[in-house]
Every structure is written in structure tokens, then in C-alpha cells.
Amino acid sequence: MKAFIKQLPKAELHVHIEGTLEPELMFALAQKNNIELSYKSVEEVRNAYQFTSLQSFLDIYYAGANVLITQSDFFDMTWAYLLTCKAQNIVHTEIFFDPQTHTKRGIAFETVVRGISQALQKGEKELGISSFLILCFLRHLSEEEAFETLHASLPFKELIIAVGLDSSEVGHPPSKFERVFKEARNMGYTCVAHAGEEGDSSYIWEAINLLHVTRIDHGIRCDEDAHLVKLLIEKQIPLTVCPLSNTKLKAVTSMDKHNVLTLLRQGVLVTLNSDDPAYFGGYLNANYEAIAEHLEVSEAELKQLARNSFHASFLDEAQKQAYLTLLA
């Protein structure tokens, strides 16, 4: 099964680039940039990755990102992720970045976006991996700060395909950012949002009806509402599901209780993704392997999940078809 999963050409549509920062690189960058970490070793970092909720993870994740200072730091982190993509047969990736995590620390928007984009361009040229970049607003921050970030993105618009919404979900519903997303759409950005990870199904309804998203990140709590599931199927609104993330952050009690296959079999356009692979114990293939191990999934269904990843992507139809023929 492992070999079967590995050889499948796949797209990844939900990965936070800051969530790919491995402890080894975190330590190297901390040393280079003279930043003190609260851990003494790589092992100690890994041992600290025991989470009880989304917030317990976010606190550690934002602290880890403090080691990223220069453009080359952002480049190195992104390049390391792309090398893993190559090894895992991920041929297309749509990457989130959190500019506010960095601009809040005095790092320029340009430093972040140029470092990541340079690695993506090199990945396309040297590794043959196509990619898009998605700017995420931190939903625990204000509407005003989201507007500032949106406006700061303007000079780099050609490097960014979409905007998204991440960070602490409960208490920060999509409605808080309705006006920001309206302006983002007017600027020509496509929209996505994390919804229904810890928040209930009302967050998914709001993301669809108020933010006009074309894709829902996570969305696993849609199954609380049959009308919502029906809508997702009818409109083929994709869900970017992250099984290892959901069990690590206790959004789902155990992998054998995950609803991703039930949703797939009902006709929902679900895809598999890694979210923050350096923190959750595995990259994309480990997510396919986890559901293969704990749920009764056929090879045909694993292949369908890989096909869905291209259908749900922001690639144009010709590019989608070119990748899909590899999975015929």
C-alpha cells in the first residue's frame, strides 16, 4: 500500500509553509539569527509536540516561526518542503503563508513573499513542481489588520492566487472578515477559508455564503448538517481534509472515527492534505497511509482522492487534464 500511495501523482492544497519548518532547520536558523529557543535539543522540540487542541498547537507553531528572519530563511524552509514533495510524488502544491506572523515581528511582507516565491520558481524549473501561493489572514487579529495585510499584498499580487483564513477558529467566525474578503474578491483574488475544523457547521455556511469561498479548508464538521453536505455535493465545493492534523489536535478522537471516507462515498469532493507536517508527524503520503491503515479504503478510492486533489486545485482545465491523465 505504501508503494501504491507513493507512486500516485498528487496535489497538495492545504499546507502552511510555516508548518513545514522541521526542528533541525528551526535550530539552525535560531543559531544563525541569534534567537533563543525554549528547547535545548531537536528531541526536546519533538517531545513538546503533544497537543490537546488547535490553540495548544498554534502557541508552539507561532513561537517556532520566530526563527525566520531573512529572505533566505523563507527560501530554505520552502525549498526543503519542495524536496519532500519531489520524494513523495507531489507534482502540484498550493501553499498557505501567514504574513502577519512575520510583519508583527517587524519582518517586511516583501522579505516573506520573495523568499517563498523564489523557492517555488526554482521548484517549478528544477523539480517540475507547479505551485500557487495563498495569503492567509490570522482570524484572531482584527479586521483592520487584515485590511492592512491585504493592501500590503498589492505590489506582489502576481505572486499570490488567493486569500484564506486561518488561526484560532472558535470565536472568530468568517463574518468578522466579510468586508475584507469582499475587497479581496474585487482585487481579483480567489477565496478559501478554514472552517469546520473546531468550529461548528455554521462556520462553513458563513464561509460559503459571506466569504464566497471556492474551497473549504478542513470542513469536517459539515456532517452535522445534512443540508450542508447536500450543498457541498451539489456544488462540488471541495474540502481540504487533513487527517493527521485532526487526530493530533483532537478535532477527531481517533483515525478510525475519521469521516473522510464517508464523505468521499457520499460524493463530497474531499482531498487529503498535511496541514503542518513538521508538527503532526508526517507529510502528505503519511496522511494517505494513515487512512489506509485505520479505515477500509480501496486502492480505487486512494486514486480517487489523488484525482480529487487536481479537480479541486486552482490549475486551469488543461493543466488539470494533463495531471489527471497520469491517474487514468
Q: Tell me: does residue 102 bind ligand ADE (CB under 6 A).
A: no
Helix 23-32 vs helix 71-88: angle between axes, to the nearest 10 degrees?
A: 160
DSSP 286-326: HHHHHHHHHS---HHHHHHHHHHHHHTSSS-HHHHHHHHHT
197 is catalytic: yes
Q: Does 165 contact ligand ADE by CB under 6 A?
A: no
Binding mask 274-313 for ligand ADE (x = CB under 6 A): -xx-------------------------------------
CA–CA gap between residue 95 and residue 89 (Å, rounded): 16
The one among 20, 201, 245, 285 contacting ligand ADE by CB under 6 A = 245
Least distance CB 247 / ligand ADE (angstroms): 12
What's the DSSP call for residue 97? E
Number of residues that bind ligand ADE (CB under 6 A): 11
194 binds ligand ADE (CB under 6 A): yes
Q: Minimal CB distance to Zn ion: which residue?
A: 275
**Beta-strand relationship, 162-166 and 190-195:** parallel
Query: Which residues 10-69 are close enough to bind ligand ADE by CB under 6 A?
Result: 16, 19, 54, 61
* From 22, 197, 198, 289, active-site residue: 197
Short-list 298, 210, 212, 198, CA closest to 242:
198
Residues in the chain: 328
- Integer Cα distance of 221 and 203 in angstroms: 9
Q: Which is nearer to Zn ion, 71 or 78 (CB)?
A: 78
- Residues that bind ligand ADE in the complex, under the rule CB under 6 A: 16, 19, 54, 61, 166-167, 194, 197, 245, 275-276
* Residues labelled catalytic: 197
